[in-house]
Structure 1
Amino acid sequence: MTAVAALEPRVLVPLAIRGEPPAWGQVTHELQGQSMGTTWSVRCVGPRELRLEAIARAIDTALAGVVAQMSHWEPGSALSRFNAAPAGHEQLLPPAFATVMDAALRVAAASDGAYDPGAGELVALWGFGPAGLRPRHDEPGFTLPGDAAIEAARRSSRALRWDAATRRLTQPGGVRLDLSAIAKGYAVDRVSDVLADCGLPDHLVEIGGELRGAGLKPDGQPWWVELEPPAPDCGLAPTRVALHGLAIATSGDYRRCFIDADGRRRPHTLDPRTGRPIEHGIASVSVVHDSAMWADAWSTALTVLGPQAGLALAVEQGLAAQIVWRDDDGSFREAWTPALQELSL
């Protein structure tokens, strides 16, 4: 048997280094918990006697606020109330919800609907939504939706009336919001802000695989992480990123999928324009951005668009993105945008 040589990792670094290393004697603390249907973890640099219980409470409070405003799993959330509202209902959104909604609609417009925050009815139809709304794909009673049901569920967020100046969103009737592809990224940014407000500017935040790093570790090194590969044997060289004022979000068809009754692999990522799961062979999209919220939304939009159209839009938008797809022979191929190449050592 011939040994396969390990591929040399690629290294990405920010274009600017800001701030000073932590004060002498500070250490790295670790915290973790659960929220938004997933887990969160934080590494932060501070004095040895740092009151971790108080920091954890501040993080939990921030995440609970995101859930209370934007969760489609919580019947009492502001988002769920909007989804249940009749046509013509005008709702004043809380500031955080408004920030996320505005960003979501901007990405929806730029991607020509490949990302759509109003696709919640489609998400539920395919069995990916909250329990009780429709049978989930892993529950008894789930059947693949037909053409008529898909067409009826395609109520685009383009029908929404959004006034960013007054933070008012109007329900046109039947539009069900789903911000799961952007709210988690916002939550990462929010926790990062909370840590900074607590006097902890050097930290790494992770929620459900989305990351944001700020400052430096006690040894003066940045927070090093690797871009998530679509498979351990994908044959692509690993990519290490110095998360210093940067965030990463990764989407792809390898993360969540199910096998239907016909034996077809159905990714959880839906194309709102067709009303069906994506089928173009894209494996993963990683976006490096200074905001986890924007990285989260853009990685979803580019995944839906596919290798060619996704790459073209990423270049047009100046996004630092890695796009990986499966070739016809099953091998993996990748493309980097110029903005990502600019970060490469």
Structure 2
Amino acid sequence: MSRIKITENSFKLTGLVMVMFLMMTLLSGCSQNDTVTRSDFLLDTFVSITLYGESDDSLLDKPFEKIKELNVTLAQSDAASDLTLINENAGIQPVPVSEGTYKIIEKGIFYSTISGGYFDATAGPLIDLWGIHEPEIKEAPSPDLIAEAQKKIDYTKIVLNPSEQTVYLTDPGMELNLGSVSKGYIADAVMAVIKDEGIKHAIVNLGGNVLVMGGKADGKAFGVGVEDPNNPGNGYIGVVSLKDGSVVTSGDYQRYFTDAAGKRYHHILDPFTGYPSESGLTQVTVVTDQSIDGDGLTTTLFLLGLDKGLALVEKMDGVEAIFVTKDNQIIATKGLKDIFSFDEANYGSTYTYKLLE
């Protein structure tokens, strides 16, 4: 995940430190002889996969091949990717796509619908205009350019043909951007490959999308840290204990830029205002069965804000969430009672913690 440093090299190094720190936390209590692990820089982040109760490093070959395969298929900018072809043919013709791309777009439409458009799978023109990646100093786009980009956003204009597995954007200039769900889809697909190899205990960490299976080899749950948004990269406000499932976190500190006057603009953009979201939240963590849902929901809940976000979570089965507000409140949904531990000793003076009942 991206962190607060400005240069590209230090940005990547800090991300690596975070992944390695998390992996050391998760590996504690397990025999190193009973694990195999591999890390690489893929999907614009550091990726780690660890298998427990295994000693054959070659078991990691297929999972990493799967990541590379899907990265090509789902890349936003690759000339041969499905998403590029869909966007290039907006207003022209439907485009046949892979099964994975089709499923991701269906999921993007789902979250666009249940959020009332706060999450919009066609927000590509706005995301491209702002161009928020690594921390840097630059100026915000003009209001006129923002308004022009907003005109091209409308998820209801995505036309799917299930019989032919095609996708069509009805208006020229429209653009799908599924970065908020694609990494989760990849994590789920990689874990499926691991299961097919007969492995029972594993962690897949795609730069903050953490997916676990089977608990540790000794039967204990994994501990997944929830980052401190006020000091990212340097501590966890608590730990989620989980044997099977996904933990995904999104925050306004992950990608941003600063203008010459010192105003900071983060990457979670509100399609209705055209600007970075001002929902009152600084971070959302979602615990779900599948990583694709955790991915989509962290962005959705951040954009909706605390009250609307909680209302949505209450309607969904198998979804729990931890909200952190700008005034340093932490609100955890009731289903996390037995699996989330807030670090009161170290963070009780900074945050007010509330577990809903």
TM-score by length of 1: 0.81
Residue 303 of structure 1 aligns to a residue whose secondary structure is: helix
What letter corresponds to residue 168 of structure 2 in structure 1? T
Larger helix proportion, structure 1 or 2? 2
Measure, in 2, the Cα distance between the counterparts of 1:333 and 1:69: 40
Aligned-residue Cα RMSD (Å) equals 2.6
Say whether residues 1:42 and 2:40 are aligned partners: no
Judged with a 3 Å threshold, the aligned counterparts in structure 2 of structure 1 residues 86 and 336 are, in CA distance, closer, same or farther, namely: closer
Alignment partner of 1:335 out of 317, 331, 355: 331
Q: How does 1:188-207 map to 2 (within 5 A)?
A: 188-207=187-206
Conserved? CA contact 1:26–1:218, under 8 Å: no
Say whether residues 1:71 and 2:71 are aligned partners: no
**Aligned counterpart, 1:174:** 173
Task: Could you tell me which runs of 5 or more consecutive residues in structure 2 were left unpaired when the two chains were aligned.
Answer: 1-29, 342-357
Residue 113 of structure 1 aligns to a residue whose secondary structure is: coil
Conserved? CA contact 2:132–2:257, under 8 Å: no
Identity of aligned residues (%): 26
Say whether residues 1:310 and 2:309 are aligned partners: yes
Judged with a 3 Å threshold, the aligned counterparts in structure 2 of structure 1 residues 220 and 340 are, in CA distance, closer, same or farther, namely: closer
Say whether residues 1:321 and 2:317 are aligned partners: no
Q: How does 1:89-168 map to 2 (within 5 A)?
A: 89-128=93-132, 138=136, 143-154=139-150, 155=152, 156-164=154-162, 166-168=164-166
Residue 41 of structure 1 aligns to a residue whose secondary structure is: strand
CA-CA distance at 1:277 after TM superposition: 0.7
Q: How does 1:141-290 map to 2 (within 5 A)?
A: 143-154=139-150, 155=152, 156-164=154-162, 166-172=164-170, 173-232=172-231, 238-290=237-289
Judged with a 3 Å threshold, the aligned counterparts in structure 2 of structure 1 residues 261 and 26 are, in CA distance, closer, same or farther, namely: closer
Conserved? CA contact 1:28–1:217, under 8 Å: no
Residue 50 of structure 2 aligns to a residue whose secondary structure is: strand
Which structure exhibits the higher relative contact order, with contacts defined as CA atoms closer than 8 Å and separated by 6 or more residues?
1
What letter corresponds to residue 322 of structure 2 in structure 1? Q
Judged with a 3 Å threshold, the aligned counterparts in structure 2 of structure 1 residues 220 and 264 are, in CA distance, closer, same or farther, namely: same
What letter corresponds to residue 156 of structure 2 in structure 1? R
Measure, in 2, the Cα distance between the counterparts of 1:149 and 1:73: 21
Say whether residues 1:58 and 2:62 are aligned partners: yes
Judged with a 3 Å threshold, the aligned counterparts in structure 2 of structure 1 residues 25 and 314 are, in CA distance, closer, same or farther, namely: closer
What letter corresponds to residue 324 of structure 1 in structure 2? V
**Deviates further, 117-126 or 313-322:** 313-322
Conserved? CA contact 1:315–1:338, under 8 Å: no
CA-CA distance at 1:68 after TM superposition: 1.9
**Aligned counterpart, 2:4:** none
Measure, in 1, the Cα distance between the counterparts of 2:316 and 2:120: 18
**Aligned counterpart, 1:8:** none
Equivalences, count = 306
* Cα distance per residue 1:167-215 (max 9 Å; x no partner): 2211212111111111111111111111111121210110011101001
Measure, in 2, the Cα distance between the counterparts of 1:339 and 1:271: 28
Measure, in 2, the Cα distance between the counterparts of 1:322 and 1:268: 20
CA-CA distance at 1:257 after TM superposition: 1.6
Residue 227 of structure 2 aligns to a residue whose secondary structure is: coil
Measure, in 1, the Cα distance between the counterparts of 2:135 and 2:326: 25
What letter corresponds to residue 84 of structure 2 in structure 1? S
Residue 285 of structure 1 aligns to a residue whose secondary structure is: strand
TM-score by length of 2: 0.79
Task: Could you tell me which runs of 5 or more consecutive residues in structure 1 were left unpaired when the two chains were aligned.
Answer: 1-21, 130-135
Conserved? CA contact 2:132–2:255, under 8 Å: no
Judged with a 3 Å threshold, the aligned counterparts in structure 2 of structure 1 residues 128 and 164 are, in CA distance, closer, same or farther, namely: farther
What letter corresponds to residue 105 of structure 1 in structure 2? I
